[in-house]
Every structure is written in C-alpha cells, then in structure tokens.
Amino acid sequence: MSVTLEDARRIIAAAEKRADEIGQPMNIAVVDAGGNLVAHVRQDGAWIGSVNISINKAWTSRAFDIETKALGENSQPTQQFYGIHATNGGKVAIFAGGVPLSRDGAVVGAVGVSGGSGDQDQTVAEAGAAAF
C-alpha cells in the first residue's frame, strides 16, 4: 500500500484550501511509502526557498514515521534525538509541517508543508493529512 497520485491530489487540494483560509501561500509535498515524491505544489507567492524544505519535511516524516514537529521537540540539546538533523546528508527536517499518512495502521506516505510559521505549516499539513 502506498499513496497514489489521486490521493496526493486530494491531500494537496485540502492543504491548499487551508493555506488560502489562513492567507499564507505554501509549498505542499506528498511522498509515498518509500519517501519518493508523488506530487508537489508551490502556491503563487510561496517562497522558492521552501520548495525543498516541504519535500524534506514529507521525506523526514515518512523516513521516521513521526510528525516533524515531534521529532524537532525530541532533537533539542539534552533530548534523545539531538543531532539527527545532521544525518542523511542534512535532509532531515526538524520543525513543524511534516505529517505521516497512515492506512490500516501502517504509514504509507507523508505530507510536508513549508512557507509560513511553524504553526501555519503544521495546520496546513494536518488539513492535508485529514483528507487522506
């Protein structure tokens, strides 16, 4: 099982709707069970610097089957995953906006969002995940 293109389009549409509601253009990425990019959207006005960040958040969330927000909280100095962001060629994202996608109890992909504050990225990612 994995995320299909149809799934990714539905996830992105829901995330775009939430981004529009909060008035913050976003980059939205969806990856499959292998962490491979299925689809990405850069809304008009979204930062180009956030394209790769959104993809990396989705990849990180799938690679570790955890929300990047939670990984970030556990990767601060004195925490168990301190330094994890330096692994995997620097691809690991440790701030809010990456959410795993589960089906029948198994993680089958993830959504990653970047372009606003951590809270904004998280709420948009959660909206996308809810559409899965």
Per-residue pLDDT of the chain (132 residues; tens, 9 = 90+): 899 999 999 999 999 999 999 999 999 999 999 999 999 999 999 999 999 999 999 999 999 999 999 999 999 999 999 999 999 999 999 999 999 999 999 999 999 999 999 999 999 999 999 999
Is the separation of the CB atoms in 7 and 30 below 8 Å?
Answer: yes
- Cα–Cα distances (Å) from 103 to 26, 59, 62, 128, in that order, read 25, 17, 13, 14
> Is the Cβ–Cβ distance between 110 and 30 less than 8 Å?
yes
Alpha-carbon span 104 to 94, nearest angstrom: 26
CB within 8 Å of 48: residues ≥ 6 apart: 42
Distance of CA 88 to the CA centre of its chain: 17
| Axis crossing angle, helix 5-22 with helix 118-130, rounded to the nearest 10 | 140
Q: How far is Cα 129 from Cα 115, in angstroms, rounded to an integer?
A: 17
Q: What is the pTM of this model?
A: 0.96
